[in-house]
Chains A and B, each alone.
Chain A
Amino acid sequence: MKDYIKFAFDNLRHRKIRSWLTMIGIFIGIASVVALIGLGEGLRETINSQFGFLGTDILSVTASGGFGPPGTGVVDPLSDKELDAIKKIAGVEGAAGRIMESGKLVFNRKVGFGFAISLPDGEDRKVMEHLMNMEAQKGRLLEDSDSGAVFLGASFYESDELFGKPILPGNKIELNDEELKVIGILEKKGNFQLDGTVFMNEDDLRNLVGRPDDEYDIIAVQVGKNADIAKIQASIEKKLRKIRDVDEGEEDFSVETPASVLESVNSVLLGIQIFVYIIAGISLLVGGIGIMNTMYTAVVERTKEVGIMKSIGAKNSTIFILFFIESGFLGTVGGMIGATLGYIIATGLAFVGKLVLGSDLISASISPTLIIGSLLFSFILGSFFGTLPAIRAAKLNPVDALRYSK
C-alpha cells in the first residue's frame, strides 16, 4: 500500500498545476466551512457567556419587547406601577428597576464611551448585587449614602487601552461633563458588557441624564428557589397586560428568562450556520466535481500507462486503488490547506474584530472535532468523486489501452 500511495503522490506531483487548480475548489469550500463555523461557534460561546452571569432563577422585564438598545423607541416605559405589581406576585422573591444610559466618558483627557447602569437603593440594592454576584476587587461597592460616585467594571482598571492608563478608586472621571468619583472596581466577569459598565446610584444617574423618577428600562425579577419560573413568567405577563391595558399577543413589553433569550439567539445563529453549511456545501460539491473532471482527464491521459501496468501484472483492483488514492489525496491535501486557511481567516478576523470593537464579541472557536471532521470529509469527498473515474480506469481492456496513443 505504501508503494501505491507513493506512486499516486508522484503522479499528482507530475501534474502540479492541475493538481493545485483542482484542490482550490476543495480548499475554498473547507476554508469557508472552518472559518465560518469557527466564528459562528465563537459568537455563540461569547453570547452564551454574556448571559452566563444571570442565573436561571431570574426574569427580566423590558418595555421594548426585546433586548433593544436601552431607552430607544420605547413608547411606554416601565414604571413603579409595574414594579410594585411584580413584587406582589407569589413566588417572586424580589424585583428591582434599573435605568441604562450611554454617554461621553472622559478620563486622563481622553474621551471614550460610557455605558451606565443604575443601582437601586435599600433592599433592592441587595437583590441587584446578589443577582449580578457583585464583588469589589478594588475599593468598595456603592452604598445608599454615596453621591457623585461611580463603581466601574473591570476593564477600566485592567486595560489601559481605553484611556491611556488604568482608572483607580479615588480617581475622578467625567460622565456627560459631570465630575464623578470612582469608589471601586468590580471583579472581572469575563463579560464584555458588564466589565465595561459604569454603575451609579439611581438618583445620581436620573439627575445626570434627566430621566423621570418612576421610569425604568428594565426590571430584574428574582424568583424563589423552588418556584416554577414559567408559571411566574405567565403571571407577570398577565398582570402587566392588565396594568398596561393590552391584549394577549399585542404586548408592548416582554418577560424573558435568560434561557429564552439564549434560545432565540441560538436559533438565529443556527439559521446562519445552516446557511453557511449550504453555501460551503455547494462550493464543496463544485470542488468534488472538479476532482472528478481531473481524474477522468487523468484516466484518459494515462490509458496507455494503465495498459502497460496491466500487461506487467496489475489487477483491475490495483488500478482502481491507484486512481482512488490519487483522488483521495487531492481531497485530503485540499482539505488540509483549506482547514489551515480557514483557521487563519477566523483567528485573523477575530483579531481585527478585537482591535476595532475592543471586545471579544467576534472570536474564533475552532475545535479539533471541526478540523478532524473537515479533513475526513474532504478525504471522503475526494474518494467519492474519484470512484467513477477509478472504476473506468480499472475496467480498461489491456489490449485497447496498450494500443491507445495520445
Chain B
Amino acid sequence: MTAPTIIKIVDVWKTYKMGDVEVHALRGMNFEVKDGEFVAIMGPSGSGKSTAVNMIGALDIPTKGKIYLDRKDISKLSESSLAQIRGRRIGFIFQQFNLIPTLTAKENIMLPMVFQGTPAKKRIARAEKLLKMVDLGDRMDHRPTEMSGGQQQRVAIARSLANDPEVVLADEPTGNLDSKTGNMVMDFLKKLHKEEGKTIIMVTHDANLSKQAQRIDYLRDGIIIKSKKQR
C-alpha cells in the first residue's frame, strides 16, 4: 500500500513584478510528496528553490496554480489561515537558523507552542524533551549568541518539531555549517525521518547532501525537470 500524498503542487506559477519587467520564479511547477517521504529538491541558484520553499511551506501563495495540503487547496487562503497551517503542520529549518536572539534555547522552542496556545507546563516539558533529543540538554538557558552554529541549528531542528508537525521543511540546513557539523545535522534529519516518521523536504544545491534523501527532484528555471528515486 502506498502512503497518501501529503503535499501536492499543481502547475504553480509565481510571478514577481520588478518595475515593468515580469519575472517568473516558478513556471508551472509540479511536485508531490507522500506522507513519510524524505525528498530533496536540488537546483542551482536562480532555479526558483527559495520560491518553491515559500510555496511548499505556505509562506506565500502562488500567482497561478494549486497547492494541496492533505487534499485541501491552500493556494488562496488568507495570511492568518496560512499562519495556522505553518504553526501546526509544517516545521521550518532555515539556512540562517533564524532563532530569536533575545530568547533562550528553551524559549525559542516554546515560541511556536505559545502561538498555538499550548499550556505553559506542557510547553516547558516538550521543549526540554526536544532539547535533550538534539543533545542540548545542558544548553537550555543559553541564548543563540552563546551557542555555536551547529548548536543553533540543532535548536532550530528542535523548534521545528515543537508542535509535532507532519512535514519538516529544511532550506539549505547545512549551508552555514562546516562539513562535520553539517553531517551531524543531517544525521538528526535522517533520525527524524526514520524514527519519528516525519515527512522531510530538503532544499539544497549540494549534490552530496541530496544523496541522503529517498528521492531527488531537480529544479531548473522554475520547473522540476527530473525526479530520481534512490535506494
Chain A complexes with chain B = yes
**A305-B111 Cα distance, complex, nearest whole Å:** 12
How far is B111's CA from A216's CA once the two chains are assembled, in angstroms?
83
The residues of A that contact B99 with a CB separation of less than 8 Å are 308
- A272, CB-defined interface residue at 8 Å: no
Q: Which residues 295-353 of A sit at the B interface, judged by CB distance below 8 A?
A: 304-305, 307-318
Q: Which residues of A contact B59 (CB under 8 A)?
A: 310-311, 398-399, 402
B48 to chain A, nearest CB (A): 13
Q: Mark A372-406, 1 if CB is under 8 A from B, else 0.
A: 00000000000000000000000001110010000
Shortest Cβ gap from A319 to chain B (Å): 9
Q: Give the contacting residue for B87; candidates A4, A304, A312, A317; CB below 8 A.
A: A312
Q: Are A314 and B83 in contact (CB under 8 A)?
A: yes
Q: For A317, what are the chain B residues with a Cβ–Cβ distance below 8 Å?
A: 80
Chain A residues with Cβ below 8 Å from B87 are 312-314
- Contact between chains at B60 and A398 (CB < 8 Å): yes
A179 close to B (CB within 8 Å): no
B116: interface (CB < 8 Å) = yes
Q: Mark A272-313, 1 if CB is under 8 A from B, else 0.
A: 000000000000000000000000000000001101111111
Q: Are A308 and B114 in contact (CB under 8 A)?
A: no
Task: Give the size of the chain A interface in residues (CB under 8 angstroms).
Answer: 24
Q: Which of B54, B86, B102 contacts A312 (CB 8 A)?
A: B86
Given contacts A313-B88, A398-B59, contact A308 B79 (CB under 8 A): no
The total number of A-B Cβ pairs within 8 Å is 66
Q: Report B75 CB to chain A, min CB distance, Å.
A: 15
Name the distance in Å between A47's Cβ and chain B's nearest Cβ.
53
Q: How far is the CA of A309 from the CA of B112 in the complex (A)?
A: 8
Would B112 and A10 count as touching, CB distance under 8 A?
Answer: no
Partner of B86, one of A3, A311, A397: A311
**Is the Cβ of A315 less than 8 Å from the Cβ of B83?**
yes
Most buried by A among B83, B111, B163: B83
Closest to B79 in A: A316
Residue ID in chain B nearest A317 by CB atoms? B80
Using CB atoms, name the residue of chain A closest to B114: A3
Which residue of chain B has its CB nearest to the CB of A10? B102
Check A48 for interface membership: any CB of B closer than 8 A. no
The verdict on B63 contacting chain A, using a C-beta distance below 8 Å, is: no
Question: Contact partner of A11 among B94, B102, B163, CB < 8 A?
Answer: B102
On whether the beta carbons of B115 and A313 are closer than 8 Å, the reply is yes
B80 neighbours in A (Cβ, 8 Å): 315-317
* B159 at interface by CB-CB < 8 Å: yes
- Is B57 touching A312 in the complex (CB atoms < 8 A)? no
CA separation between A309 and B101, bound complex, in Å? 12
User: Bound complex: CA of A308 vs CA of B156, how far in Å?
Assistant: 11
Q: B residues within 8 Å of A by Cβ? A: 54, 57, 59-60, 79-80, 83-84, 86-88, 92, 94, 98-103, 111-112, 114-116, 120, 159, 162-163
- 20 of the cross-chain contacts (CB-CB < 8 Å) are A3-B114, A7-B114, A10-B102, A11-B102, A304-B98, A307-B98, A308-B98, A311-B59, A311-B86, A312-B86, A312-B115, A312-B159, A313-B83, A314-B87, A315-B80, A316-B80, A397-B60, A398-B79, A399-B60, A402-B59
Given pairs A10-B102, A312-B111, A314-B87, 15 additional interface contacts (CB within 8 A): A14-B102, A308-B100, A309-B100, A309-B111, A309-B115, A311-B92, A311-B98, A312-B87, A312-B115, A313-B83, A315-B79, A315-B84, A398-B60, A402-B94, A402-B98
